[in-house]
Every structure is written in C-alpha cells, then in structure tokens.
Chain A
Amino acid sequence: MRWIWIDRFLEFQPGRSARAVKNLSLAEDYFADHFPGFPVMPAALILEGLAQTGGILVGEANDFREKVVLAKIPSARFHREALAGEQLVYEVELVHLRPEGAAVKGRALAGDDLLAEAEIFFAHLDQARSQQLFGDQNFVFSGELKHMLGLAKVLADRTDGKSTNGP
C-alpha cells in the first residue's frame, strides 16, 4: 500500500512553510467503511496529511539527513468533516527547528472552510542510536515522500514554468 496522503505541493518555502493539496475521491478504500452512506475522511488521516506536509518541510530544512519522526501532537481541533469529492489544502508553517527536533503548526482547509488545525511535533532520531537500530539508510525519506517535492517541481514547471506556487 502506498502511504502517501498528499497529492502534491502547491507551495514550498524551505525552512518556513508549505502548502499541499489532497483530493478526496470516493474510490479511496476507507470511504466504504467510514461510514456507509456517509463518506467522510477519518480525522486521523487528515492529521497524517498535515504531518506528511510538515515532515517534508522539516526534513528538507536539513537536506533530508535527519530521520524525522512524528513524536507528538500536543493539540488538534476538528471543525467539520472532510467529505468525498472535496479538495483539501494543507497549510503548514515551521515554528521551531533545533538539532533535536521541530514543531509545526498546520491547518486543513476545504475552500474557505477551516476543517482542522493542529500542532505537530517531530523528533530527529538520535543519529548514533538510530544508526545502530536502523543502519545508515534514512528510512523516513527513502523514496516516496522525498519524491513528492521533485514531483511538485516538475508539475509547476509544466504549468507556469517558474516556481511551485499554487493555482
């Protein structure tokens, strides 16, 4: 299974902020069960989308050298459900970045509606220890997640030939 909960980046300001888009298709598996007759995206997956947007922002800030793992969500608020057919925009801003970890603030929007907001906390897995446990390879940014940024750039180049600014 592909564990990617954003479709592409709309905007990426290294070390500062990122915006990503996620289209909700009724064909996504979870809608069948969540819930029959009332297809809404599980709130935890909205958080995952925000965390992936934020995690890539945090990872890029150190050239993807650190193993960035979701450590804590100190607060999250959900204002309304995200429905099949909607387009979500995840907006994340980097609040803190240190050698030990980072904190971001994120919001999920559908059009002008604020669906959810959360603070998300990432830890940089201790280099020495994680090398013992996991080896040299950065398992967090091994492929798909890092690929998202490259993809955003290609798409942006094809649409406006300049930056990764959104529509």
Chain B
Amino acid sequence: MPSQDEIYTKVSATLVEALNVDEDEIKPTSTLQGDLGAESIDFLDIVFRLEREFGIKIPRGELFPESIFQGDPEFVQNGKVTDKGLAELRARMPFADLSKFEANPDLSAISDLFTVEMITRYIEGKLGEPSNN
C-alpha cells in the first residue's frame, strides 16, 4: 500500500489535470471550490481520474455526497447544521476533518470540507479496504 505522501502526490497530480491549476497552488488544506475553483462538473471528473489513478471504485455520492440534508429541518435550522446533522456528516464522511466546521456549522461553509487532504484520507481508507488489495 502506498504511503500517505505518495497518495497525496498522486491526488495533487490528479487535481492539476482535472482543474487545470498549477501544482504549487495545491496545499493539503486547499478547498476544492474556494481555493482551486472547482465547479460541480469537476467533481465527477475528479472521481473518474481518482478511480483510474488508484484502480479503485468510488460509488456515487461516497466521496462527494450530493445532498446530504435534503432540506430536512432536523439536520438544518436557520442555515446552521444541527447536532443531528453533524452526526450525519460524521457518519457519511468519516474521512472529512469536521473540527473547524463544528465550531461554526454554517450550511454555506459545507463546501470547505472538500479539501485536498480530505481526498487523500478517503483514498487511504479506500486502499486499506480488503476488497481493494
């Protein structure tokens, strides 16, 4: 199994191709949309490239969940994600670092969860699954 550094390097190279950004623009904490300018269609492109690069299958909605809360008032109230919503996020995206988001769970900041290191952690977990060895 490749090391975390090796995975990160490959993830960066994938993002360079998919988003047409320079490698030095990419940092572990870079957000895909805010920092790297990804648009919705780019997420599918990234998924395709990761699958090819790492030889894994990424089921729909697993890495980039599409509409987690679907307007459910139990999950979101007044534009803030509720405790129940946060629990749902943790369950759906165990590979995401929620610490910053939990401090101020503004729904509009949810796209900031999608970072380069989030993808790296996801891939790491995926490669560790028995079915992918």
Is there an interface contact between B45 and A100, defined as CB atoms closer than 8 Å?
A: no
Complexed CA–CA distance, A139 and B63 (Å) = 31
Identify which of B17, B51, B52, B60 contacts A74 (C-beta below 8 A). Answer: B17
User: Given A74-B17, A74-B20, A103-B48, does the pair A123, B41 have CB atoms closer than 8 Å?
Assistant: yes
Identify which of B42, B51, B52, B60 contacts A100 (C-beta below 8 A). Answer: B60
Is there an interface contact between B44 and A100, defined as CB atoms closer than 8 Å?
A: yes
Total interface residues in chain B, CB < 8 Å: 11
Q: Is the interface of A mostly helix, strand, loop or mixed?
A: strand
Is there an interface contact between A74 and B44, defined as CB atoms closer than 8 Å?
A: no
Total interface residues in chain A, CB < 8 Å: 13
Chain B residues with CB under 8 A of A12: none
Complexed CA–CA distance, A100 and B40 (Å) = 12
> Which residue of chain A is the closest to B42 with respect to CB atoms?
A72
Is there an interface contact between A123 and B44, defined as CB atoms closer than 8 Å?
A: yes
State whether the Cβ of B96 lies closer than 8 Å to any Cβ in chain A: no
Complexed CA–CA distance, A95 and B52 (Å) = 10
